[in-house]
Structure 1
Amino acid sequence: MTQAAIVAGVDGSAGSERAVRWAAREAVLRRAPLQLVTAMVTSRAAWMPPAFFTLVEAEAAKKVDAARLIAEDECGAGSGVQITTSVLHESARPGLIKASKDAAMLVLGSSGEGESGVAQLLGSTAIALAAHAFCPVAVIRKHSRSVQSRARVVVGVDGTKNSEAAIAEAFRAAALRGAELVALHAWSDFRMSTAFTDVDLSWETVSAAEEAVLAERLAGYAADYPDVPVSRAVVRDSPLPHLIAHSRQADLIVAGSHGRGGFTGMLLGSTSAALIEHAHCPVLVVRSRK
């Protein structure tokens, strides 16, 4: 059975170079193949000469060839990582979503050059790809540091089954890096679903219950990864500011999405969408399990 590849989006920008370098290091860690992908729109207008498309295709090939050299340098001699390149003859967003069907991970830069560039992923494009891809999506932020600079992975845990896939991926990422795992669970001091049943409970009681929820969510995975040190953090607040703060000292932050289909903002979740735009380290978005 062929091993699924890590797929990195390429457009020749600084953002895509960051994505390629990060993806190459991740391929080494996971001992996975690496596929470098760029896109070119091939719809023809009557007035466009055939030579125009020849030039466009040559430019696309040049971009992935340059990315391959970067990836080979990042992987290092003797890594054993198989690197392939491909040019998609369609626009970047649908092309990358299709490529994600057979991928282990999709890796994207957080900014790029040109409206059709694969790596121009600030805002709605990054959020759409993270929401609709069939595999985990890593978005490499402009201010991200090297994966090897610090040994810490952070995961957001919402206390429901929606975060189980993210927890599993976070434990795996921490184990591969020899990293500490920080699991953060944020709970609000007002929830409509419990507003009329919890009014007589003390905050200490509720806090203890939330800590128990977090411990329960982590228990099985901690047993599977006994060598991964785990720190638990429970806060009575919105998760976003705390996750962003933790991202300053992290190699990777892992967040869940709700799965594919539906309205993108609700599908991905406001926290994951905001992390893509504001985190200080790479963000890995993982679909919830069905």
Structure 2
Amino acid sequence: MSDPVIVGVDGSASGFDAVDLAAREAHPREAPLRIVLALGRPSVRLPTGTAPWNPGDQGLEAMALGVLARAEERAHQVAPGIEITRSVGAGEAFEVLEIESRSAVPAALGSRGRSAFAGLLLGSTAVRLAAHGRCPLMVVRGRAAPTGPVLLAVDGSPAGQAAVEFAFAETALRKAPLVARHVWNTWSEGAYEGPGDPLTAVVVDVAHLRETGQHLMDVAVASSQEDVPQVAVERRPVRSRIRPALIDVSRQAQLVVTGARGRGGFTALLLGSVGQALLHHAHCTVTVTVTVVRGKE
């Protein structure tokens, strides 16, 4: 059986939007859909006189079952006939979903959850799962352009290669155009390390940086282009500020794909600044890919 597509739900509108996305992802993959709801201890201070938190409480159980039933109904409306399983996990949302992600490709979440259930799915869960999850994470954002391209952020890093492979495979499933974009500026390749604006700082050879960016893109997509030849990719290096440029072009895209880490100076960060910026500000669904050897830490 294929690895399942998993989706985290908590009863929020954003979570149900993620169910729609996950069902659309499961159908062409001929993969089962697994709907996951986490019940964790609330992190907010409960009012005086409130009964102690109890995950076995009948009211909480009824709420959970109701959310799962509604999510399953929506999934069947989007993709009739797909196999669906449900799971209620005891624990904080990130912990439950991280475990589920070990056997999933991909996982889907809403960008915001229900803050009234502080132990359930919150916006921070998406950021943490993007950094520490074990499969590509798709986070529903904004309003995707239904006929727009899949946008691939290319940085030439080893971690970014997983994003390239996922973007080609996803584009083939969606039968959509693929635009690979490498954004460069005068800080690229360590050409400029001083203060100031990376667009206006003086460097010796801007043409060389442009050629380097084009070569980086060509090398990054070459292997996937051979593996998925039916996908026509437009390679477009752009001189600009990286995060604003990618956020802006996401207005015309149906999906943005990026790696969890890039070529920046903060290599110890599990989720790079570009990935974080897209998760918070992109105008369409964002996929953050990870490079993980299954079964190993």
TM-score by length of 1: 0.86
Residue correspondences, number? 275
C-alpha separation between the residues in 2 aligned to 1:111 and 1:12? 11
Helix, strand or coil at the partner of 1:59: helix
- Which structure 2 segments of 5+ residues have no match? 43-49, 194-201
Following the alignment from structure 2 to structure 1, what is the Cα–Cα distance between the partners of residues 86 and 113? 19
Counterpart residue type for residue 87 of structure 1: V
Q: Mark the runs of 5 or more structure 1 residues left unpaired by the alignment.
A: none
The one-character-per-residue Cα deviations of 1:249-271 (angstroms, maximum 9, x if unpaired) are: 11110010139xxx999211000
- The answer as to 2:184 corresponding to 1:182 is no
Aligned partners of 1:128 and 1:264 also within 8 Å:
no
Q: What pairs with 1:1-290 in structure 2 (closer than 5 Å)?
A: 2-41=1-40, 48=52, 53-76=57-80, 79=81, 81-113=82-114, 114-116=116-118, 118-121=120-123, 124-141=124-141, 143-145=142-144, 149-191=146-188, 193-195=190-192, 201-258=204-261, 266-288=269-291
**Residues 188 and 209, structure 2, Cα contact 8 Å, conserved in 1:** no
| Distance of 1:49 and 1:204 partners within structure 2 | 63
Looking at structure 1, the residues matched to 127 and 41 of structure 2 have their Cα atoms a distance apart, in angstroms, of: 25
Letter in 1 for 2:130: A
For residues 248 and 138 of structure 2, what CA distance do their matches in structure 1 show?
Answer: 19
Query: Alpha carbons of 1:250 and 1:224: their partners in 2 closer, same or farther (altered >3 Å)?
Result: same
Task: Say if 1:162 and 1:289, in contact at 8 Å, map to a contact too.
Answer: no
**Structure 2 length as normaliser, TM-score?**
0.84
The aligned amino acid for 2:137 is V
Residue 67 to residue 287, structure 1, CA distance change in 2 (3 Å): same
What code does the residue aligned with 1:102 have?
A: S
SS in 2 for 1:104: coil
Q: Separation in 2 of the partners of 1:49 and 1:241?
A: 43
Instruction: Using the TM superposition, give the Cα deviation of residue 97 of structure 1 relative to its aligned residue in structure 2, in angstroms.
Output: 0.9
Percent of aligned pairs with the same amino acid: 36
Contact 2:2 2:30 in 1 (8 A): no
Higher helix share: 1
Runs of at least 4 residues off by over 6 Å:
49-52
Write the distance in 2 (CA, Å) between the matches of 1:268 and 1:132.
Answer: 8
